[in-house]
Structure 1
């Protein structure tokens, strides 16, 4: 599917979650009374973005990481990553029946942590009000008081509910605020992140809500959340007439603290026979399969639409995408299918690839590796450093990445992000 942006590691996103909760229905078209151009200013507008000296370093923390990945908030403390993070995006809450809902109650707030798993070395008790990831993140914030956490809703698998939510944005926003500010965990979260893939375009399913829908949802959230953080992960499809132009991101920019264009997953073994290509190129290059599928083109298009650079972050993948049956060292080779991965075919964590298939070249500002008949693309500390130079040159607010468990035990990649922005 080279004509549409494809998901990041979507299977990993829902491992351990209840599949029956995933909305599969076709989205209902939204008829709005007024065009996006008539949207009134929010009751509380988004604060100005941070200065370059306050660059944001933002990482996704997945609720299903508590299962097979055995990745916990404590790992952010012991690796030193918590000291380098400015914000955590907790993924994901669901969107059902036009409302924000809990994604996985067991991982989120029910799982009992043992002393050796706990951030502060204290085990959960059977009768305490809050357990699970939420309590561990609370303890992490206690140790790192400058750290902010946002609850992210949607994602590739759970974006189907946004179309219905957009039919009554005020009710949706109210439900989200009630959930994020639930008294059991209100102190854990500093705001909300929306990951709608994709407004007025196609992701796992196709949305026909129109370009007014996303701005109205974000306006309602800003009005409901006031001065708390309101952010959004958005498409990075820089093609002419593509998803960036369809979503209403320009109109909605006034309501968000920042946007996170997902500048990764441009290419991968979802095109099983290739051609092999870098999944997160910073720039275009000779032979790229689809022009406009690169980070700098996406950033330029958003800026051309009027989104301030100070409200944009650059996305980094802490994983690689790969093919097998490849004979050609350089990009553009044919393949026979996805390369094997620990959790999903065609995808592997950086911490594994750096040992199993070290980088052998660079293209478009990112790295690739040929080992045996496998071909992988991924970012390394060196390519991340160059990308952070680009982010600073463009006046971007910082960088974000998917996702924290893909890094090495000593936080090799997050160190490169932090140092590169410092």
Structure 2
């Protein structure tokens, strides 16, 4: 049996010997199960498929993703992580740095981690799982000299990290075909939420935000019922006279005809029989209801750390501070995720010898999110190439725009002497 069959499981006959919780009976295989009492909270949680908020709404991942604020925040974080280049770097003995393109892990991070996912798809998928579940796991397939050749995402909620009495980490994997298998730590890529309650598993964002998402979902549901019931009217027509059935019906037909003609929008009505138009004004209760919906959108956004303007709140403006907004997003929202990604890759994918050598390290290129306008970039690179304080070569600047090197472009610009005006002589001063 191959290593993949042993981990993921093969046919029932092939996996029977390896499955510790199967028994043979009547020539067949019967899978063992766990039994729960009818009042068990574990059974209730399993049947509910979600967590119940304080408002009585069951919150699961689809409930959360149907919330526009949560969806926008999760999509923004996951796509930003996915699109940023991730490089395996090497620190040379002389202090210079280079991309470790000769290492197999470089290709996995930068191009193709497995046979069916691109680097963008893999990172954005694992990032979304870390947001929804708190943890994302992948099986590391290794080749010669324990070098990783592929990272395959494992099924959600199928892995449990275990810490032995002598503090050795391993992972218990529940196979789709039945039974469990113990995976060593060096074969599992584990990426988790930066916050953890036990040091092994990241916090479940849906668990901590269940009340905020539940109340927001309840508010949206109430708004839907109000619109579906058709009770939202723009106003009423009042009169002291008594109208017959025929007059009331004619008035209704006239109003419907006017509402169907878009050209009549905003025009005033000619009222008969002493009628008066009385428009409805939003009550304090309606205003508080709308304020509650905005409040819940803010509550949901706080759990993700995405700035309000990026979540498209209508009362906020982008203005001239777009660059500062991007800097805020990278520094206070994405930077913890960058560090979590970099250290998780180094811990799981590099061998112990490579980690101890302090030669290889993983680096996200967050500068791709901080590029300003063309004018700002021109000012920045002009200072970087300054003749008296240059810290970048022309080739480095050209490389930022995917331009080819030029002759002599690998050297820093030479400082030029600044000519100082000659002091006037005494004779010329007397003249």
Shorter-normalised TM-score: what interval? under 0.3
The structure with the greater share of residues assigned to helix is 2
How does the TM-score come out when normalised to structure 2? 0.24
Q: With structure 1 as the length reference, what TM-score do the two structures score? A: 0.24
Q: With a CA cutoff of 8 Å and minimum separation of 6, indicate the structure with the bigger relative contact order.
A: 1
Q: Which structure is larger by alpha-carbon Rg, 1 or 2?
A: 2
